[in-house]
């Protein structure tokens, strides 16, 4: 199984080396056939009872409490994956994102992998911690430019707060004293959940930026715009701290609200045309040096940023001082002064991909749920999934 391959790689790679540890396997050419030995993607079922994903801001106090308690439950359960750095069941959710960072970012796998990870998070909350609701999303349009006032960060009914332009451990709320074990970056150390709010970065979630991405008719352009052109980066940078670390960002529980919102952004693009439910493409290995890959997407000359070898930003996220105008390569804003206040400027680059991502490629989250093909992940109402997104204006009428 893929997990066996990953574990073997973990035993042979040098500590701190940021290299992709497993590549998704391909189910023939994406047009049928049989999966690799030991991989048995579940067959889709008919979608009849549609689950409703609702904005966090529209949940009742009781619904919010139930979700937070389930998250705390995962944080209190022991790891079941036996992977380096995984101590709790919550750590188990961070590990696939950390280990596969170079494969699942800056590639055509980005959106389907994160859709699968959001589903996995919901699945563990419901099956292991008694949560009866569904995965909520962050209606980010409500908090642009005023993230410190968001209901998400309420110390009583939310995830605890943070400070604008100041890196701090979460100062209050249910996760104030939680210790992370996976990260920062590719390291496995013990550290607190940190945040550094940046209102300038949140501007990437503006409808102007989303509409800019929606102008692209093909997945290869729309995905890259969503990932790099503002929507994805905006609230990663807006929350800052752990969320600004592109490798170990699931260590902050708000990651799941943000990426469920991003899944909605992708779905809203998909449902505009039926053919988009089968439109997948893009490169298979990231070209972004943040994930340890060189310009050709293969060699790892840079040992991972942040959290690479000990002489490379060993304190991130900690006391590392960003220049005032710092912006992450590849579009991660959120250092002091980093912002997306101007109009969207992302444009596609000419690229010939000889071996693109295919519908038959198999993705893994290391046995948290069974491996499955991308084709199963494309339609949120196609049977493998069965959910819909409720807009904030409709959700508050419940």
Helices (H), the chain: 2-12, 61-76, 89-99, 101-104, 110-129, 199-202, 207-214, 219-228, 231-239, 254-270, 374-377, 392-395
Percentage of the chain surpassing pLDDT 70?
A: 76
Supply the pLDDT for residue 42.
53
Cα–Cα distance, 51 to 381 (Å, whole number):
9
Q: What pLDDT, on the 0 to 100 scale, is given for residue 332?
A: 39
Q: Are 105 and 227 in contact (CB under 8 A)?
A: yes
State yes or no: pLDDT of 333 exceeds 50: no
d(CA 360, CA 337): 43
> For position 59, what pLDDT does the model report?
98
* d(C-alpha 306, C-alpha 320), whole Å: 10
Give residue-wise pLDDT tens across range 337-348: 356 777 888 888
Each domain of the chain, given as residue ranges in start order, spans 2-395
The gap from C-alpha 248 to its chain's centroid, in whole angstroms, comes to 9
Q: What local confidence, expressed as pLDDT, does residue 74 receive?
A: 99
Q: What is the pLDDT of residue 14?
A: 28
Percentage of residues of the chain with pLDDT beyond 90: 69
pLDDT for 345: 87
Query: What residues pair up with 166 in beta bridges, in sequence order?
Result: 163
Looking at the structure, give the CATH architecture of the domain made up of residues 2-395. Answer: Orthogonal Bundle (1.10)
Q: What is the pLDDT of residue 313?
A: 29
Strand order, beta sheet including 361-363: 25-26, 361-363, 372-373
Mean pLDDT over each residue of the chain, to the nearest integer: 81
273 to each of 133, 219, 267, 269, how far by Cα in Å? Answer: 30, 11, 11, 8
Asked if 130 contacts 71 with a C-beta cutoff of 8 angstroms, the reply is: no
pLDDT at position 286 over 70: yes
Task: State the pLDDT at residue 341.
Answer: 76
Supply the pLDDT for residue 64.
Answer: 99
Task: Give pLDDT tens digits for 209-239.
Answer: 999 999 999 999 999 999 999 999 999 999 9
* Furthest CA-CA distance within the chain: 55
Give the C-alpha separation, 332 to 326, whole Å: 10
C-alpha radius of gyration, the chain, whole number: 19
Distance in angstroms (rounded) separating the CA atoms of residues 98 and 362: 18
298 φψ region: left (φ > 0), alpha (ψ -120 to 50), beta (else): alpha
pLDDT in tens, 125-177: 999 999 999 999 999 999 999 999 999 999 999 999 999 999 999 999 999 99
pLDDT at 273 over 90: yes
pTM attached to this predicted model? 0.82
Banded pLDDT at 351 (limits 50, 70, 90)? confident
How does residue 280 score in pLDDT terms, banded at 50, 70 and 90?
A: very high
- Looking at residue 251, its pLDDT comes to 98
């Amino acid at each position: 199984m893929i997990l066996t391959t990953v574990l073997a790689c973990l035993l042979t790679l040098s500590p701190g080396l940021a290299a992709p540890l497993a590549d998704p396997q391909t189910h023939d050419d994406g047009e049928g056939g049989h999966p690799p030995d030991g991989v048995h993607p579940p067959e889709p079922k008919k979608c009849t009872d549609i689950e409703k994903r609702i904005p966090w801001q529209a949940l009742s106090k009781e619904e919010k409490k139930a979700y937070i308690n389930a998250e705390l439950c995962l944080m209190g359960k022991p790891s079941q994956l036996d992977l380096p750095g995984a101590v709790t069941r919550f750590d188990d959710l961070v590990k696939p994102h950390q280990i596969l960072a170079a494969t699942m970012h800056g590639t055509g796998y980005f959106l389907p992998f994160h859709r699968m990870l959001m589903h996995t998070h919901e699945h563990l909350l419901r099956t292991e911690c008694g949560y009866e609701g569904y995965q909520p999303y962050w209606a980010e349009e409500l908090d642009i430019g005023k993230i410190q006032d968001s209901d998400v960060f309420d110390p009583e009914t939310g995830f605890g707060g943070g400070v604008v332009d100041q890196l701090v451990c979460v100062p209050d709320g249910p996760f104030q004293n939680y210790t992370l074990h996976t990260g920062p970056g590719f390291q496995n150390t013990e550290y607190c959940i940190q945040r550094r709010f940046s209102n300038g970065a949140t501007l990437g979630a503006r409808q102007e930026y989303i509409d800019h991405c929606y102008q692209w008719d093909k997945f290869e352009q729309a995905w890259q715009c969503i990932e790099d052109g503002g929507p994805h980066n905006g609230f990663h940078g807006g929350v800052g701290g752990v969320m600004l670390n592109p490798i170990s960002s699931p260590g902050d529980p708000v990651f799941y609200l943000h990426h469920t919102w991003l899944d909605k952004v992708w779905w809203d693009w998909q449902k505009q045309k039926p053919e988009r439910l089968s439109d997948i493409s893009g490169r298979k290995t990231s070209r972004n040096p943040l994930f340890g890959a060189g310009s050709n997407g293969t060699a790892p000359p840079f040992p991972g940023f942040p959290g690479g070898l000990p002489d490379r930003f060993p304190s991130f996220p900690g006391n590392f001082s960003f220049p005032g105008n710092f912006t992450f390569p590849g579009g991660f804003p959120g250092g002091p002064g980093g912002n997306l206040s101007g109009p969207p400027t992302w444009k596609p680059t000419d690229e010939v991909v000889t071996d693109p991502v295919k519908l038959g490629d198999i993705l893994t989250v290391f046995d948290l749920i069974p491996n499955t093909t991308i084709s199963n992940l494309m339609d949120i109402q196609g049977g493998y999934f069965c959910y819909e997104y409720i807009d904030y204006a409709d959700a508050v009428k419940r």
